[in-house]
Structure 1
Amino acid sequence: MSTALSPTALAQQFTSLFGAAPDGIWAAPGRVNLIGEHTDYNEGFVLPFAIDRTANVAVRLRGDNTARLVSSYGNQGVVEVDLDTLSRDSMSGWTAYPLGVVWVLRQQGVAVGGFDLFLDSTVPTGAGLSSSAAIECAVATAFNELLDAQLSPGALVLVGQRAENEVVGAPTGILDQSASLLSTDGHAVFLDCRSQASQLVPLALAAAGLIVLVVDTKVTHAHATGGYAARRASCELGAEVLGVAALRDVDAEDLAEAAGLLDEETFRRVRHIVTEDMRVLETVSVLEASGPSAIGDLLTASHASMRDDFEISCPELDLAVDTALSNGALGARMTGGGFGGSAIALIPASAEATVRTAVLDAFAAAGFTTPDIFAVSPAAGARRIV
């Protein structure tokens, strides 16, 4: 994982590269989804929290219609774009995330003109921690303030989602952007993806002597390809056959009838969504009543459902989950869209070294790539930092 540039260092690099100081620096976090996977685009419930890994963007408005963008990782140099020629099909690579947001804002009547932008991010890419939404939300927050667009956090969520859907080509819901924009320290965001209603739920890990350990398996995934879109199509088929607007409208007691109406694979996809929505609601209730030490079994049940019914896990994720559970974790699950990325384990803080060593040893014994393992805590959402 890259080390963040300090705000001072980021401003200095920006000034050195572009010849003037930035107008400001904005940060937006990645996220861990505590529970509620693939329920977002089924108009269901999710419970993510922002993590203390952020995408930081330094931005300065220009007097012309030229955008110049550079990132601190890789040796890609400055990308220069004439905004008059910006179209949905003209963006590619990492710049599609900030430029996608600019394109959406311009489509919605926000007069984004030329700008210089420097991106520095510590959210691991391809790890299921929403590095793309972190960039989108930092950029959206920056331009919302710089141009006094007065868009609400909920409106910025939809800007980021539209950039992801229409420019990047990933058919994601609103989970990632909501977590990045709406989170606060020490809380998870309980989100109703149908109404966009959100509620902060205390996630007092430190007070309970717990941490969430992330195991980045280094198995990269890309939402814009393959499996994610296929799962979404299965969910849409299930809803159509069952005669509902979205799988959010299917209850547990409807599953027996659904089994007779759907092919076996589609039924399992539907069963995951229906039971996962139930697990999210129960997790919120348990957190409010008993605190985080009581949610472990729900996390583990979520992983089993994603592994067996939704079939989005992989050997590396399963090994991380199983090893954590056998070495003291209260619960563990894969997090994110699946097909790689990260697992999370809810563990006593005192067990961190034991779990970390056990997972590293298990991956080495299996011949898997060495994972990155790090603790995260519920952090603040998108904001100006300079």
Structure 2
Amino acid sequence: MPGRALRPPERTGCWCWRSRRRCRIGRCRAARRFPAAARRLVWSAGPRGRFPGCIASIILRRYSLDVSRQSPLPLASSLFEASFASRPTAGASAPGRVNLLGEHTDYNGGPVLPFAVPRRTVVLAGVGEGWAAVSAVDGMIVRFDPAAAPEGRWTDYLGGVIRVLQDIGAAPPGGQIAVASTVPVGAGLSSSAALSVAAARALSQLAGPRLSREALAEVAYHAEHDVVGVQCGRMDQMIAAHGKARQALLIETSNGEIEGIPFELPVLLIETGVAHRLAESEYNRRRAECSAALEACRVAGVEVAALAAVPEADLERLSRAMEPVLFRRLRHVVTETVRTRAAAAALRKADFEATGQLLLEGHRSIRDDFESSCGEADRIVESAVRHGAWGARLTGGGW
């Protein structure tokens, strides 16, 4: 049975054009038309929640949607007051994100094209002795030491942010922190970056200095990458810091340039219902393969700073200069770089059919060259297009 359709907070349910009203239980014609393998319609934007004329993005991992759609701000505020018997003096929020195109290009020096989703993480803070944090997930107060090694807890991200802020003289001496979020954890929507960016903004405000969006993204990136040890690129932190409503961002990770691209297309975000546990090991393996492919390019006489900078015209020659598996990784990064910039150009002209075709090409590349998809995601992509979507692809790292 299809699950319920969730929309941004100001809209409840999906639009049923048979009854001409909103369906609150997901049993409208739009939900019935989609195959049972999709399980849930996670997010739908636009005037009507239907397939024709939409973009579909597929989430590979299974996760729970039991996240409150209540605004996280009053939840975080009441949690702070109940936990610390005082009121917060600083606060900030940051959104989750979906990446339209540019998969596995951010750590290879290429462009990405993400947009912010209408689900946010709120961090409220107040001055205190030592460090204590509470999350709306369990309501338990956790005391932690930012200088300690990561322990695999959610407070590791807060500790990482505090340590980076201390390095630049923008951290308070101690604090009390409350966190509430409507961004699902582990869903490929970048909940960790939303937490890190919101924490960086709130805690820097508590200390006094007001950091720029660029500085906030850098603090969050170094907290996750250098302190927590997540082998991530900069895309998630940049969209969390710079994201705006009705706009995708073309981010050139090689030089940090950001361009806003108008984006108001209906989007369906769908999970496969398949749980995969090899994500971290496969991700690290792909990063190593990309590094090896870059070295092979240099040995073959193509001197570039990053894999995404390899000219597409050199692909045929390079196919004979490295192992087949390394060439497939190279080909994905190079062609994904071209596709991402082409998709931004198509969106500028409101050429949605061309954008959809680029998403389909991107999925084939993820499936065949980067080998990070699965059969369930492939079938959902095929079904989405068959039922009228302009395009569809796996979003997130995969596996």
TM-score (norm 1): 0.81
Rounded Cα–Cα distance in structure 2 between residues aligned with 1:31 and 1:253: 33
* CA apart distance, 1:224: 7.9
Rounded Cα–Cα distance in structure 2 between residues aligned with 1:139 and 1:91: 19
Aligned partner letter, 1:30: G
Q: Is the 8 A contact 1:303 1:332 kept in 2?
A: yes
Identity across matched positions, percent = 39
Q: 2:215 aligns with which of 155, 162, 183?
A: 155
* CA apart distance, 1:10: 2.6
Any residues of structure 2 matched to 1:119-138 within 5 Å, and which? 119-138=179-198
Q: Is the 8 A contact 1:252 1:275 kept in 2?
A: yes
Q: Is the 8 A contact 1:127 1:219 kept in 2?
A: no
Q: 1:264 aligns with which of 324, 337, 352?
A: 324
Q: Is the 8 A contact 1:126 1:220 kept in 2?
A: no
Larger proportion of helix: 1
Distance 1:222 1:120, change over 3 A: farther
Rounded Cα–Cα distance in structure 1 between residues aligned with 2:353 and 2:317: 36
Rounded Cα–Cα distance in structure 1 between residues aligned with 2:106 and 2:275: 21
Any residues of structure 2 matched to 1:59-70 within 5 Å, and which? 59-62=125-128, 64=129, 66-70=130-134
CA distances 1:227-257 after superposition (whole Å, capped 9, x unpaired): 1111111111111111122112201111011
2:141 aligns with 78
Q: Is the 8 A contact 1:4 1:121 kept in 2?
A: no
Distance 1:61 1:34, change over 3 A: same
Rounded Cα–Cα distance in structure 2 between residues aligned with 1:189 and 1:53: 17
1:33 aligns with 99
* CA apart distance, 1:145: 2.3
What runs of 5+ residues in structure 1 fail to find an aligned partner?
Answer: 206-210, 340-386
Rounded Cα–Cα distance in structure 2 between residues aligned with 1:224 and 1:92: 16
Rounded Cα–Cα distance in structure 2 between residues aligned with 1:91 and 1:11: 27
Q: Is the 8 A contact 1:36 1:280 kept in 2?
A: yes
1:362 aligns with none
Q: 1:229 aligns with which of 263, 281, 284?
A: 284
2:57 aligns with none
What runs of 5+ residues in structure 2 fail to find an aligned partner?
Answer: 1-64, 299-303
Q: Is the 8 A contact 2:79 2:136 kept in 1?
A: no
* CA apart distance, 1:28: 0.5
Q: 2:296 aligns with which of 202, 223, 241?
A: 241
* Total equivalences in the alignment: 328
* CA apart distance, 1:294: 3.6
Q: Is the 8 A contact 1:203 1:291 kept in 2?
A: no
Local SS of the residue matching 1:215: strand
* CA apart distance, 1:167: 2.5
Aligned partner letter, 2:131: A
Rounded Cα–Cα distance in structure 1 between residues aligned with 2:353 and 2:292: 37
Distance 1:110 1:223, change over 3 A: farther
Q: Is the 8 A contact 1:35 1:48 kept in 2?
A: yes
Any residues of structure 2 matched to 1:192-341 within 5 Å, and which? 192-205=252-265, 211-219=266-274, 225-243=280-298, 244-339=304-399
Q: Is 1:103–2:158 an aligned residue pair?
A: no
Rounded Cα–Cα distance in structure 2 between residues aligned with 1:316 and 1:140: 38
Rounded Cα–Cα distance in structure 1 between residues aligned with 2:318 and 2:245: 41
Aligned partner letter, 2:364: A
Distance 1:114 1:5, change over 3 A: farther
